[in-house]
Structure 1
Amino acid sequence: MAEIPGWLTEDQARMLWDAVRRLGPGATVVEIGSHQGRSTIVLGHAARTVGARVVAVDAFVDGRLFGGAGTRDRFEANVKEAGLDDVVELVVGYSTELRRGWTRPFDLLYVDGKHDYWTYVDDLRWSAHLPPGGEILVHDCFSSVGVTAGTLVAVLLGDRYTYLDRSRSLARFTLRRPGLADRLRIVRQLPWFCGNVFLKVLLRLRLHAVAGWFGHRGPYDPF
């Protein structure tokens, strides 16, 4: 994983690994947003240990932030080099469009697609194909304005998802009606989210030294 560009940390990779390892033989993992395959490689190797499979969904849109066809080539090369051709299935397309016609059940959902509010909330609807108690992992959950807003609406104010825990910005949810304590756990993450927004503002203003005073290192957003 370390050799593939991306924002997934080692602790977050462990969280994905453990989630897949809780599945049984024949299970399916759906990943929305694969980029060059950093997280896909983790999911794929974990899936192999339990006899599961991974379906990677990505549109590989052209542009500086997405990479287009070149990113797809690197994704496929990375999966092949990892020896996961028989474990990982690539489905190319927009998650919001593919969801409407999707009929295949699966057992674990990992969301790391487009981070605007509307796309994220729509991506959560893929959970209709999960079994009761199925897990959903969301990257950049408390470091992206769009994703955090979607979490507040769909999870904090909703009755379908329960927040469990997180590794920095990677959050874990389950399909279960939340109680008051579950909702309060989300509220307790908001100061950390506000700190991330503050750091992003400093980085946009190129005040990297100031961001360093608050413990942030490097030119990239907190993830």
Structure 2
Amino acid sequence: MVSHVREEADFDAAWRRAEPVPGWLTQAQGRALWDAVGRLGPGALVVEIGSHQGRSTIILGLAARARGARVIAVDAFVDGKLFGGSPTRQRFEANIAAAGLDDVVELVVGYSTKLRPTWDRPIDLLYVDGKHDYWTYTDDLLWSRHLPADAEILVHDCYSSIGVTLGTIAKILFGSRYTYVDRAGSLARFALRRPTTKDRLRVLRELPWFARNVVIKVLLRLRLRPVARVLGHDEPYDPY
């Protein structure tokens, strides 16, 4: 009981550190990342694909420090209004430094799809939050080749992005390599093991929630927030 209370307090402190950093990770999703790292052993290596300003990286990094693990943050920091380019990288590096994680988090700048074919380091946990199109996402799943059997893969926006959800249908529902475990909002957790029929059915049961999210996104684009509220979404932002 004492250990559980301490873990709760540690996560609460980590979330207070991460929450001010701009990003789309919710507290429940941060807890899912924290718990996933907590299941690793000393010396483990976590790879995060897509770090933005470091909100999720801080959670991963603080959890990794508690376990004697390390984090590799992979991000291309593409220029443009959507991603922010070098200013976003500077904010990421400043946020990691402010959290005291320079000795835990290693930044690798580059496209995940270009880095993957030559990657040669074993990893123990994979967190995917990179580009959300079908082709990039399904390529990012191939980083799992460096994971041991039964290792975990966490995917953000899994049931709120059309490209990521299509990739999940193709590679998880109809694939034979990954098993769906659970989700926190749109952050889904998979295990690297062959799925059963029951596992595949659990993926199917999430699709109505995905359809709801797509409808909400359309309503927000059309500035129909009152209609979105009828579906239980009372925020100006997309569902995460």
Separation in structure 2 between the aligned mates of residue 118 and residue 62 of structure 1, nearest angstrom: 20
- Secondary structure of the structure 2 residue equivalent to 1:171: strand
**Match for residue 208 of structure 1?**
225
Deviation at 1:116, TM superposition (A): 0.3
Task: Indicate which of 41, 44, 53 corresponds to 1:27.
Answer: 44
Deviation at 1:158, TM superposition (A): 0.4
Deviation at 1:65, TM superposition (A): 1.4
Verify: 1:141 aligned to 2:175, yes or no: no
The CA deviation string for residues 108-157 of structure 1, in whole angstroms up to 9 with x for no partner, is 00000000000000000000000011100000000000000000000000
Deviation at 1:173, TM superposition (A): 0.3
CA RMSD of aligned residues (A): 0.5
Deviation at 1:213, TM superposition (A): 2.1
Query: 1:80-99 residue pairs with structure 2 within 5 A?
Result: 80-99=97-116
Task: Indicate which of 5, 24, 28 corresponds to 1:11.
Answer: 28
Separation in structure 1 between the aligned mates of residue 37 and residue 230 of structure 2, nearest angstrom: 38
Query: Percent identity, aligned pairs only?
Result: 71
- Secondary structure of the structure 2 residue equivalent to 1:105: coil
Deviation at 1:48, TM superposition (A): 0.3
**Match for residue 79 of structure 2?**
62
Separation in structure 2 between the aligned mates of residue 211 and residue 158 of structure 1, nearest angstrom: 34
Separation in structure 1 between the aligned mates of residue 174 and residue 31 of structure 2, nearest angstrom: 29
Q: TM-score, normalised by structure 2?
A: 0.92
Q: Which one-letter code corresponds to 1:138 in the other structure?
A: V
Q: Which one-letter code corresponds to 1:93 in the other structure?
A: G
Q: Unpaired segments of 5 or more residues in structure 1? A: none
Deviation at 1:83, TM superposition (A): 0.2
**Match for residue 157 of structure 1?**
174
The CA deviation string for residues 18-70 of structure 1, in whole angstroms up to 9 with x for no partner, is 00000001000000000000000000000000100000000000111111000
Runs of 4+ in 1 over 3 A off after TM superposition: none
Q: Unpaired segments of 5 or more residues in structure 2? A: 1-17
Q: Which one-letter code corresponds to 1:148 in the other structure?
A: T
**Match for residue 146 of structure 2?**
129
Task: Indicate which of 125, 137, 141 corresponds to 1:120.
Answer: 137
Q: TM-score, normalised by structure 1?
A: 0.99
**Match for residue 92 of structure 2?**
75
Verify: 1:43 aligned to 2:60, yes or no: yes
Aligned residues: 223
